[in-house]
Amino acid sequence: VSFNIIGGGAISKVDPESTGLNPQWRKDAIVSWSFGGGWTANASTEEIEEVKANTTRIVQQFGKVAGLDDAAYFNEADPLEPQWKKSFFGSHYSRLLKIKKRVDPKGLFTCNRCVGSDQ
């Protein structure tokens, strides 16, 4: 488990609507936290998937208990985040999806949990 204090300073002086990040990061980000899991070199695919699923479950439960489930920083977030649109992009998702469709109409550029990746 890792905790980082990130609130105040320059981050709070940037207009939350001026970036693609979830606006919660600019409005009231105070603490960033992360969990991780690991497995041995000879772990089976099933064991690896279990570690990944358990890590996601723990992150979701902790976020609800701590009241920290509104936003996640895309570059450091859980790749299995179930509420990824809300968590990564918040109210910006629909605007970003329109831009994505205009700039990349054939959906060539994509990644796991990226804008438009579920289309």
> For 89-105, how does the pLDDT look when each residue is reduced to its tens digit (9 = 90+)?
989 999 999 999 999 99
* Structural domains of the chain, count: 1
Q: What is the pLDDT of residue 2?
A: 59
Distance CA 94, CA 1 (A): 32
| Residues whose CB falls within 8 Å of the CB of residue 39, separated by 6 or more in sequence, listed in order | 47, 48, 51
**Mean pLDDT, rounded, for 56-63:** 80
SS3 (DSSP) at 32: strand
Query: Residues 109-118: pLDDT tens digits?
Result: 999 889 999 9
Q: Which domain holds residue 74?
A: 2-103
Instruction: Evaluate whether residue 66 is within a structural domain.
Output: yes
pLDDT score of 4: 59
Please check whether residue 93 lies inside any domain of the structure.
Answer: yes
Q: Is 62 domain-assigned?
A: yes
